[in-house]
């Protein structure tokens, strides 16, 4: 088998590259070692954002680039780009005075060239009380309101891949890139099916490595990554009612409370990480850190570990100075030619994935001399109105056999976790995800011909995954971290270390 371009990695960057290349008429193959979006791209804060924090650091070009992309993604994927207002409460004697933020958010709007998801404004302390009565108001000077977009990271990957496939890309999950040998006309590549262990070979003209935090593990790669971990908690919206997203800070650290249908998402941390890359988890320190800061802003909510329904943790693939603070590391992306015919594409963020892909494909087709058209990825991901894709959106679809059938038939789902975690987000959203998983397993089993043993093993894997993502909750509840006020717990030494920074 021969292809022009091999894309390694089925996260948002690889998906964007495959779509871009296929739309230009390039013969493209994408391989993902596990499920699509199972790396960082299903573990983000789900924001399309310019990066208001970088504005404070004076990184104007970075904010401008991401602001343009966030607005463009609204046209490309309107069903995955909902306007999200953010309230940033301000207080006396902090490093975030209201006047400074008011200027900042106005610049933020300007950088979107009048295309932002909404117009920024500022509120008095009384105004803040009316919109957000639960927030801490002593010493309040009011708030500023600015706009970003809310998305669904894994859906963005899947819909991008579906569009890539529609334009002719060959897309495979559970297929690992094992090795590549340089030939006179390109590369001879060995791939392995991670479900059966079977190997196969192919030849290709060029390779783009889009494996995120795994990039340095590929022999040809020239990337050095400093992974940092960020975690999110999901609580019931009734326990923390936020009509708009709320920015929670502790001096330079920035966290969010984000409304998500019946749930509220809280996050994130930003800590150096040197553990295994597959499936990082939230630990009791992460959980305590987030609850402590959220409780400072919403003391009456008094959230405890018992309120946490679900968690996820992700690793940022940052190309970084090993000595800098995690939250100071640039989110800029890098596209490097590591060897003739091999590009490493790393860093950046969800918001800029389309642009990263455009730049990477521009370089590759030029250097490889491929017959390719101009970039067309500002065209919509899905033909027709978003109403025609009820299974894809920022909130999970209702649980039904028809949706499961759609995921199996049209979206490469082969395992229970593929559907419960990434295609639907049901595991993070539903009140009784274990019961839902049993139904989904039966429906999948019928479609995929599972016998009783296979079905039990799928359920077993899902339960292990779920237990792992909830281990910190049980651990925190056991050590009564959640039962006592969290800042008290920290002072008493129950929570050993506060993470070093937090940001997107």
Ligand X SMILES: Cc1cc2nc3c(=O)[nH]c(=O)nc-3n(C[C@H](O)[C@H](O)[C@H](O)COP(=O)(O)OP(=O)(O)OC[C@H]3O[C@@H](n4cnc5c(N)ncnc54)[C@H](O)[C@@H]3O)c2cc1C
**Minimum CB distance to ligand X, residue 388 (Å):** 26
Considering the complex, state which of residue 321 and residue 434 has its C-beta at the smaller distance from ligand X: 321
Q: Shortest distance, CB of residue 300 to ligand X, whole angstroms?
A: 27
| Residue 182 bridge partners (DSSP) | 187
Question: Is residue 13 within 8 Å of 156, Cβ to Cβ?
Answer: no
d(CA 428, CA 17): 28
Q: Which is nearer to ligand X, 273 or 443 (CB)?
A: 273
Please say which residue, 311 or 392, places its beta carbon nearer to ligand X. Answer: 311
Q: How far is the CB of 342 from ligand X (least distance, A)?
A: 13
Q: How far is the CB of 45 from ligand X (least distance, A)?
A: 3
Strands 186-193 and 175-183: antiparallel
Task: Report whether 10 contacts 347 (CB < 8 A).
Answer: no
C-alpha span between 7 and 12 (Å, rounded)? 12
Instruction: Please report how close the Cβ of residue 318 comes to ligand X at its closest, in angstroms.
Output: 9
Among 70, 170, 89, 177, CA closest to 137: 89
Distance CA 328, CA 501 (A): 9
Least distance in angstroms from the C-beta of 456 to ligand X: 26
CB half-sphere exposure, 96, CA atoms < 13 A: 27
DSSP character at residue 95: S
Report which residue's Cβ sits closest to ligand X: 11
Structure tokens at 357: 């892909």
Structure tokens at 403: 């949706």
- Identify the bridge partners of residue 250 per DSSP, sorted by sequence position: 253
Burial level of 5, CB count in 10 A (0-12/13-18/19+)?
buried
What is the CB-side half-sphere exposure of residue 230 using CA atoms within 13 A?
A: 27
CB of 121 to ligand X, least distance (A): 23
CB atoms within 10 A of CB 166: 14
What DSSP state is assigned to residue 325? -
DSSP state of 67: H
Which is nearer to ligand X, 123 or 502 (by Cβ)?
502
Residue 378, H or E segment: none
What is the 8-class DSSP label of residue 53? H
Strands 47-48, 121-123: pairing is unpaired
Least distance (Å) between residue 444 CB and ligand X: 21
Judged by beta carbon, residue 29 or residue 123, the one nearer ligand X is: 29
**Contacts to ligand X by CB under 6 A:** 8-14, 31-34, 38-41, 43-47, 49, 176-177, 210-214, 230, 268, 314-317, 348-351, 504
In the bound state with ligand X, the residue whose beta carbon lies nearer, of 13 and 290, is: 13
Length of the chain: 504
For residue 381, give every residue at least 6 positions away whose Cβ sits within 8 Å of its Cβ, in sequence order, or none: 76, 77, 80, 159, 160, 162, 163
What's the min distance (Å) between Cβ of 455 and ligand X? 25
Q: Of 399 and 498, which has the nearer Cβ to ligand X?
A: 498
Of 352 and 427, the one with the shorter C-beta distance to ligand X is: 352
With respect to ligand X, which residue has the nearer C-beta, 45 or 285? 45
Complex with ligand X: residue 112 or 441, whichever CB lies closer: 112
CB 30 → ligand X: shortest distance, Å? 9
């Amino acid at each position: 088998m021969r292809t022009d371009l091999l894309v390694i990695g089925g996260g948002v960057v690889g998906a964007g590259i495959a779509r871009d290349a296929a739309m230009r008429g390039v013969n493209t193959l994408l391989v993902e070692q596990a499920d699509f979006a199972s790396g960082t791209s299903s573990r983000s804060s789900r924001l399309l954002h310019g990066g208001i924090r970088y504005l404070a650091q004076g990184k104007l070009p970075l904010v401008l680039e991401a602001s343009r992309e966030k607005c463009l993604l609204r046209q490309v994927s309107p069903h995955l780009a909902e306007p999200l207002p953010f309230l940033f409460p301000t207080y006396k004697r902090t490093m975030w005075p209201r006047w400074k933020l008011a200027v900042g958010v106005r610049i933020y709007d300007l950088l979107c060239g009048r295309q932002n998801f909404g117009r920024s404004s500022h509120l008095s302390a009384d105004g803040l009380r009316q919109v957000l009565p639960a927030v801490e108001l002593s010493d309040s000077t009011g708030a500023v309101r600015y706009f970003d977009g809310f998305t669904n990271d894994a859906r963005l990957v899947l819909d991008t891949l579906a569009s890539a496939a529609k334009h002719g890309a060959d897309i495979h999950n559970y297929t690992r890139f094992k090795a590549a040998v340089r030939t006179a006309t390109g590369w001879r590549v060995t791939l392995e099916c991670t479900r059966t262990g079977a190997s196969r070979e192919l030849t290709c003209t060029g390779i783009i490595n889009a494996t995120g935090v795994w990039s340095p593990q590929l022999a040809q790669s020239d990337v050095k990554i400093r992974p940092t971990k960020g975690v999110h908690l999901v609580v019931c919206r009734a326990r923390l009612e936020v009509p708009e997203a709320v920015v929670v800070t502790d001096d330079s650290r920035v966290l969010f409370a984000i409304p998500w249908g019946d749930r509220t998402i809280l996050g994130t941390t930003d800590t150096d990480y040197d553990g295994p890359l597959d499936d990082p988890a939230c630990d009791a320190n992460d959980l305590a850190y987030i609850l402590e800061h959220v409780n400072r802003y919403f003391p009456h909510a008094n959230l405890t570990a018992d309120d946490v329904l679900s968690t996820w943790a992700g690793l940022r693939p940052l190309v970084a100075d090993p000595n800098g603070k995690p939250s100071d590391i640039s989110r800029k992306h890098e596209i490097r030619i590591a060897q003739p015919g091999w590009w490493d594409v790393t860093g950046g963020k969800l918001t800029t994935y389309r642009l990263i892909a455009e730049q990477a494909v521009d370089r590759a087709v030029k250097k490889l001399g491929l017959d390719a058209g101009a970039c067309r990825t500002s065209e919509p991901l899905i033909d027709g109105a978003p109403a025609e894709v009820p299974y894809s959106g920022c909130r999970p679809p209702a649980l039904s056999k028809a949706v499961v059938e759609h995921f199996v038939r049209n979206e490469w789902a082969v395992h229970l976790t593929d559907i419960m975690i990434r295609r639907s987000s049901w595991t993070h959203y539903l009140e009784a995800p274990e019961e839902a998983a049993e139904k989904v397993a039966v429906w999948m089993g019928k479609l995929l011909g599972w016998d009783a043993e296979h079905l039990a093993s799928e359920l077993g894997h899902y339960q292990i995954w779920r237990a792992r993502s909830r281990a910190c909750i049980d651990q925190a509840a056991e050590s009564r971290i959640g039962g006592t006020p969290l800042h008290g717990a920290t002072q008493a030494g129950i929570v050993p270390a506060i993470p070093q920074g937090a940001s997107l």
